Amino acid sequence: MSHDDFKFEPVRGLPEALPEDEHILWQGSPSPVRLAKDALALNWIIGYFVLLTIWRVGVSSTLVPFDQALAHGVPFVVIGALCALLILGLATMQAKSAVYTLTNKRVAMRIGAALTMTLNLPYTQIGNAGLDLKRSGHGTLAFELIGDTRFSYMMTWPHVRPWYMSKTQPAFRSIPNAEAVAQIFADAAEARVSTPQVERQTAAAVAAE
């Protein structure tokens, strides 16, 4: 019995096989740890619990011996560690389920840990791209769309440019070697957009002109 639940991807990250004139230039996924930092505020959460622990120990040290005051900070360390592990787990699920693809014709994004969806963005629908490059070499490559193409910010998060909600910009989030990927995209998009497009007309249309 045929059923969509048992339909496997013919090509990793893509819902169907590529046409003969299309080929993959690059494929990748987010770095889980980097995604946790960039999209899920891991560093801020850790910093918050560190400050909370220091504050609790400091207050307690004015009332009890310092060794007992240190013990008062343990619950905050445990809660902070659990929150950090939860964020890392969520980021890992999002990163493992995401596959970013550049072909010679389009940008494709298979995203979603629970509800999987695939975005197909032809280069002709991308007006601009912005790269947020980190010192580690990781970065986010966001695509500014033209025309009437719209995507839900909530449905595509965290694979979007942060805080651009009115006109969502899909993005390759927290990818390694981001600068090299951005160059691959730039070269492919320029080649594709500069390719002449042939429009077919019927004989009746030509006669009418």
Confidence of residue 202 (pLDDT cuts 50, 70, 90): very low
- Global confidence as pTM: 0.82
Q: What is the DSSP code string of 151-174?
A: --HHHHTTSB-TT--TT--BEEEE
Question: What would the pLDDT profile of 38-79 be if each residue is shown by its tens digit?
Answer: 999 999 999 999 999 999 999 998 888 888 889 999 999 999
Burial of residue 1, with CB atoms counted within 10 A of its CB: 0-12 exposed, 13-18 middle, 19 or more buried: exposed
Q: What is the DSSP code string of 75-94?
A: HHHHHHHHHHHHHHHHHHHH
Residue type, 191: A
The pLDDT score that the predictor gives to residue 2 is 39
Using omega within 30 degrees of 0 as the cis cutoff, is the peptide bond preceding 75 cis? no
Q: Is the pLDDT of residue 201 over 80?
A: no
CATH architecture, range 23-30+97-192: Roll (2.30)
Question: What would the pLDDT profile of 36-46 be if each residue is shown by its tens digit?
Answer: 999 999 999 99
- Sequence spans of domains, the chain: 23-30+97-192, 35-94
Q: How far is CA 38 from CA 32, 133, 135, 175, in A?
A: 10, 11, 13, 11
Please state, rounded to an integer, the average pLDDT across all residues of the chain. Answer: 87
Question: What would the pLDDT profile of 79-112 be if each residue is shown by its tens digit?
Answer: 999 999 999 999 999 999 999 999 999 999 999 8
The pLDDT score that the predictor gives to residue 196 is 52
The three-class DSSP label of residue 149 is coil
Kindly state the tokens that stand for 33. 């740890």
